[in-house]
Amino acid sequence: MEPSSRVGPIAQSVEQRTFNPWVDGSSPSGPTNQFVIRIISRSEGKWLVFLLLRRSIRNTLRNRYAINFAAALQGQYREQFAYGHREVLLDYAEMSRDLIFKAVIPHGKIAPHALDPILAHFDLSNDKALPQLLWRDDSNTEALKAGVEGVRSIGAPFLYALANSGQTIKKTKENLNSLANNTIWKTDDQEEILNSFDKILYMPIHSWEGDVVNHFMPIDSLLRKVDPKRVVVCLGFLDFCNPSVRKVYEDCGWKLTCAGVRDSMILNSPAGGREKFLYSLANIFSEADIVIANEFTTGLFYAASLGKPIAIIQGLTENKLTYSSWNSNETFQNLLNLQQVTFPWLYGGACTPGQILKDLENALGVNSFKEPAFFQKEVETLRIDVANKALH
């Protein structure tokens, strides 16, 4: 008996990658060739042969067209790609751009543990805690109190972006000290204070895929009382792309800007200005005389490191979620209230210069700023091209 040379639909679709070998029933009907069907029909163990053949085909396809396990391996370290943090740190340490730090590096971690708890992150097997490089100076001690191991403080990646641009950590500390000792934001007379600045940068709370924020500017808003030519609004990327959000601020006569995209669906892609985000944001801050927001945000602390006065204006707009995949407006509002209690001076409350300086330095982690050798020698890395061959 000679096998048929005619190729059946399974072999065709394998070459064309048009079916999923993991899903029962997704393979097209029909034998791969006549020889197979004849064996199955004539053998006493036809079902055994069929199952073995099916298993063999599926195993072969798993190996050939499997999900890239290296991508999953990289995925557990993915957050370091947000806002170009990975690239900033690699450039600072003069390391190759094809490396991934084998550590969790969050995109924002300035709030204390009580507001933003330090949690353990586990590897793909879910049995080993991953190293974490966090921002705040107190991250190490707070993590140990919480029973989380492998946490080290390095300071905010924005500090390293400034260092890459020529601003030393010494200069950053001087800026923070000067700001803490010359804070002018008070609960009263905020309109007068705001009008004393020529260039005002406003950073409203921004949306992301999991939270969509309501953007609304009341007619009696404090910011509306300022000459509109003096106001620039820096929007998060998704809000910047949303015509209805843009209209809220354009109707006020304000100029809009954006520092770029947070992340990309394609790991390591520079699309949308991701890898230059922190540098773009620093340039936006440099053109402002004061940076204000309607909620607690990392951007304010970044601006402070450049010596810019910062403030949060209550009642500037309505802080409300119109959609959330995980949160409720009640818990959202509770967090905003806790932030005000923790950092009263940002809202105009009375506070000593010493406490303000402590809050600024601790949040940015300026006393945990590392030398290049730390990243070169003390943090494990994974080379992207090696990862793409491993675990495949």
Residue 389 pLDDT exceeds 90: no
Tell me the sheet residues that pair with 134.
Answer: 153
Query: What band does 310 get if pLDDT is binned at 50, 70 and 90?
Result: very high
Which tens digits make up the pLDDT trace of 75-133?
788 899 999 999 999 999 999 999 999 999 998 899 999 999 999 998 887 888 999 99
Question: How many structural domains compose the chain?
Answer: 3
* Mean pLDDT value across residues 314-328: 77
pLDDT reported for residue 193: 93
54 falls within a domain: yes
Q: Supply the pTM of this predicted model.
A: 0.80
Q: Are residues 101 and 205 in the same domain?
A: no
- CB-CB neighbours of 265 under 10 Å: 6
> By C-alpha distance, which of 217, 283, 212, 219 is closest to 241?
212
- CB-CB neighbours of 37 under 10 Å: 16
DSSP label at residue 324: E
Q: Are residues 48 and 103 in the same domain?
A: no
pLDDT reported for residue 71: 58
CATH number at residue 299: 3.40.50
225 contacts: CB under 8 Å, gap ≥ 6:
191, 195
pLDDT reported for residue 37: 38
Q: Are residues 302 and 221 in the same domain?
A: yes
Residue 258 pLDDT exceeds 80: yes
42 conformational bin, left if phi > 0, alpha if psi -120 to 50, beta if neither: alpha
Higher pLDDT, 61 or 172: 172
Q: Are residues 327 and 197 in the same domain?
A: yes
Q: Is 266 helix (H, G, I), strand (E, B) or coil?
A: coil
CB-CB contact of 262 with 239 (8 Å):
no
CB-CB contact of 382 with 98 (8 Å):
no
Residue 298 pLDDT exceeds 90: yes
Percent of the chain with pLDDT over 90: 58
Percent of the chain with pLDDT over 70: 78
Residue 21 pLDDT exceeds 80: no
Residue 44 pLDDT exceeds 80: no
> By C-alpha distance, which of 133, 58, 137 is closest to 360?
137
Residue 53 pLDDT exceeds 70: no
CB-CB contact of 169 with 93 (8 Å):
no
Least confident of 34-38, 43-47, 100-104: 34-38
Q: Are residues 292 and 192 in the same domain?
A: yes
Query: What band does 141 get if pLDDT is binned at 50, 70 and 90?
Result: very high
224 falls within a domain: yes
Q: Are residues 378 and 282 in the same domain?
A: no
168 falls within a domain: no
334 falls within a domain: yes
Query: What band does 322 get if pLDDT is binned at 50, 70 and 90?
Result: confident
Residue 27 pLDDT exceeds 70: no
pLDDT reported for residue 14: 32
Q: Are residues 140 and 201 in the same domain?
A: no
Q: Are residues 90 and 134 in the same domain?
A: yes
Domain range for 106 is 71-157+370-387
Higher pLDDT, 189 or 283: 283
Residue 224 burial class via C-beta count within 10 angstroms: exposed 0-12, middle 13-18, buried 19 and up = middle
Tell me the sheet residues that pair with 312.
Answer: 293
Instruction: Look up tokens 């932030």; give the residue.
Output: 339
Least confident of 130-139, 211-220, 245-254, 362-371: 211-220
Higher pLDDT, 189 or 180: 180
Least confident of 58-72, 82-96, 137-151, 293-307: 58-72
Dihedral pair phi/psi, residue 42, rounded to 5°: -100, -15
CB-CB contact of 97 with 320 (8 Å):
no
Polymer length in residues for the chain: 392
Token pair for residue 330? 């009640």
Q: Are residues 199 and 297 in the same domain?
A: yes
Residue 25 pLDDT exceeds 60: no
Pairwise CA distance, residues 87 & 81, whole Å = 8
